[in-house]
Structure 1
């Protein structure tokens, strides 16, 4: 695991991820290019665009979160 330092307080940050939960399933949150478009059926439209997993780092001291789209 890489070591990162918080841009706010310079403390150590730890690697993690954010979870999307729904209908009994869990998935790593995805980044999708473009502005969200509302959908009556699914809440938001997601076309066949590039979707990237989001890696999240959290500061042990102040709780600041920093997200990176990986892939």
Structure 2
């Protein structure tokens, strides 16, 4: 248990988890990429040279609200 507080209802003690990415060629978890999204020639997001961080999610056990944060890990 942690001391994170839900910004929606004020409950203390959020459950840690992650956002799964099950798309093609995914690593199994979603990532945050710095900067506004630009699309490449074939419509996909341009990612080359951008900072990438793993996303962690905390769920409120009372109201179900999710709080998302990025880790320091690339």
- How do 1:1-71 and structure 2 match up within 5 A? 2-11=2-11, 12-23=13-24, 25-41=26-42, 43-71=44-72
Distance 2:41 2:21 in 1: 19
Distance 2:8 2:46 in 1: 35
State the 4+ residue runs in structure 1 displaced beyond 3 angstroms.
none
User: What's the C-alpha RMSD, in Å, of the aligned pairs?
Assistant: 2.0
Q: How many residues align?
A: 71
Structure 2: runs of 5 or more not aligned: none
**Structure that is richer in strand per residue:** 1
Distance 1:64 1:19 in 2: 17
Q: CA contact under 8 A between 1:55 and 1:69: conserved in structure 2?
A: yes
Distance 1:32 1:18 in 2: 14
- TM-score, reference length from structure 1: 0.79
